[in-house]
């Protein structure tokens, strides 16, 4: 029986994904019809971007699952018309890209590269950084991305502490959880990396109280979600020297408005939401595997817990 798959995303995504997704579905042995338009009542699966035109799932009466193209699902989990399973995107390319970006900026701050790259003014700045083993790093968020980043930084020699809402065990990583564990994790965080999801519970995780727990002069790296940080509290902490620098890839409003003080602050690096991106080839393989699993009545990969929000 042919499986009807609707690709619900922007037109540029369709042109990017049509070939690799068709190949992945073929390689998975699926008899499929993949289109960017279908009669809703004929659709079995939706490959979905939350900014697509599909917002009401009620007409999709035979829908089996929605397979998100993005890692973030905060813009869809609250949709009351979506009653079928929702899978978020966790693909090898996205994970590798995030790990590379996080490792690169962690090393940048650890080695003090900004002073040497930007300070070409004739001053001999011989500031010797400590070894990685003497630079504690904390990661907030121990999902697939957080765990991969933690392992990579640990391999480089950094003592890594990871914090999550619920208990996690990761070889070679100090793990903590819960409110008390968060405060303990912040106290040693000379470099803090934010990889939490965007949920009501994670809003303003970094605020005046939590920022004050960190070592003076600590660095913050945020490739997670803009909502994790109270912007005004961060600016105040930067101005006071409590926080030494913030490298921010995500923001509450994107693109970041030209008038936002982050652009001009000397202790802030802005990058345009490039820490990681879903790669069409590897993402298509995950989607095809989930369609195969759905048709075989096997559990889907990376299912979203709607109550938790991720």
Q: Angle CA(48)–CA(49)–CA(51) in degrees, nearest 5?
A: 135
The answer to whether 47 and 21 are in contact (CB under 8 A) is: yes
Do residues 44 and 4 touch, judged by C-beta distance below 8 A? yes
Q: What's the longest Cα–Cα distance across the chain?
A: 72
**In angstroms, what CA-CA distances link 146 with 42, 158, 228?**
38, 15, 15
pLDDT score, position 261: 98
Torsion of CA 274, 280, 285, 286, to 10 degrees: 40
pLDDT of 117 reads 84
Residues 6+ apart with CB under 8 A from 90: 71, 143, 144, 145, 286, 301, 302
CA 66, CA 87: separation in Å to the nearest integer? Answer: 6
Q: Which H or E run contains 140?
A: strand 137-140
State the pLDDT at residue 121: 78
Amino acid 127: pLDDT: 86
**Section 75-91 average pLDDT:** 95
pLDDT digits (tens, 9 = 90+) for 276-290: 988 999 999 999 999
Q: Residue 61: is its pLDDT beyond 90?
A: yes
**Residue 119 in this model has a pLDDT that exceeds 80:** no
pLDDT of 144: 92
Secondary structure class of 8 (helix, strand, coil) = strand
Structure token pair of residue 224 = 């997670």
Q: What is the pLDDT of residues 141-162, one digit of tens each?
A: 999 999 999 999 999 999 999 9
From the list 273, 292, 293, 306, the catalytic residue is 273
- CA 288 centroid distance within chain: 22
Closest CA to 115 of 133, 102, 128: 128
Q: Give the tens place of pLDDT for each residue, 9-39.
A: 999 999 999 999 999 999 999 999 999 999 9
Ordered domains of the chain (ranges, CATH)? 3-91+278-295 (3.40.50.720), 93-270 (3.40.50.720)
pLDDT computed for residue 40 by the predictor: 98
Query: Which residue from 108, 73, 70 is spatially nearest to 219, judged by alpha carbons?
Result: 108
pTM: 0.92
Residues in Cβ contact with 195 at an 8 Å cutoff, skipping those fewer than 6 apart:
98, 102, 139, 140, 141, 142, 143, 145, 146, 149, 223, 224
Instruction: Please say whether the beta carbons of 206 and 194 come within 8 A.
Output: yes
**Catalytic residue, candidates 88, 109, 110, 225:** 225
pLDDT tens by residue, 242-266: 999 999 999 999 999 999 999 999 9
Known catalytic membership, residue 225: yes
């Amino acid at each position: 029986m042919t499986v009807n798959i609707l690709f619900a995303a922007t037109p540029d995504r369709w042109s990017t994904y049509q070939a690799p997704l068709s190949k992945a579905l073929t390689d998975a042995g699926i008899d499929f019809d993949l289109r960017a338009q279908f009669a809703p009542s004929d659709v079995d699966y939706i490959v979905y971007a939350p900014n697509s035109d599909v917002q009401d799932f009620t007409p999709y009466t035979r829908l089996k699952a929605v397979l998100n193209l993005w890692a973030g699902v905060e813009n869809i989990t609250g949709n009351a018309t979506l009653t079928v399973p929702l899978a978020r995107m966790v693909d090898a390319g996205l994970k590798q890209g995030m790990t590379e970006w996080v490792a690169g900026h962690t090393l940048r701050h650890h080695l003090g590269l900004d002073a040497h790259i930007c300070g070409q003014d004739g001053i001999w700045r011989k500031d010797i950084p400590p070894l990685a083993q003497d630079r504690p790093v904390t990661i907030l968020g121990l999902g697939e991305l957080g765990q991969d980043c933690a392992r990579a930084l640990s391999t480089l020699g950094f003592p890594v502490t990871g914090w999550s809402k619920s208990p996690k065990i990761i070889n070679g990583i100090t793990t903590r959880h819960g409110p008390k564990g968060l405060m303990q994790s912040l106290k040693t965080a000379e470099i803090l990396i934010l990889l939490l999801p965007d949920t009501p519970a994670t809003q303003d995780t970094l605020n005046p109280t939590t920022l004050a727990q960190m070592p003076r002069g600590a660095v913050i790296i945020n490739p997670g979600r803009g909502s994790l940080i109270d912007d005004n509290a961060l600016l105040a902490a930067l101005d006071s020297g409590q926080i030494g620098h913030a490298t921010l890839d995500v923001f509450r409003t994107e693109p970041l408005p030209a008038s936002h003080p982050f652009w001009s602050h000397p202790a802030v690096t802005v990058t345009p939401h490039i820490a990681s991106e879903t790669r069409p080839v590897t993402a298509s393989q995950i989607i095809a595997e989930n369609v195969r699993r759905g048709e075989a009545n096997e559990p889907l990969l990376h299912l979203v817990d709607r109550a938790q929000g991720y």
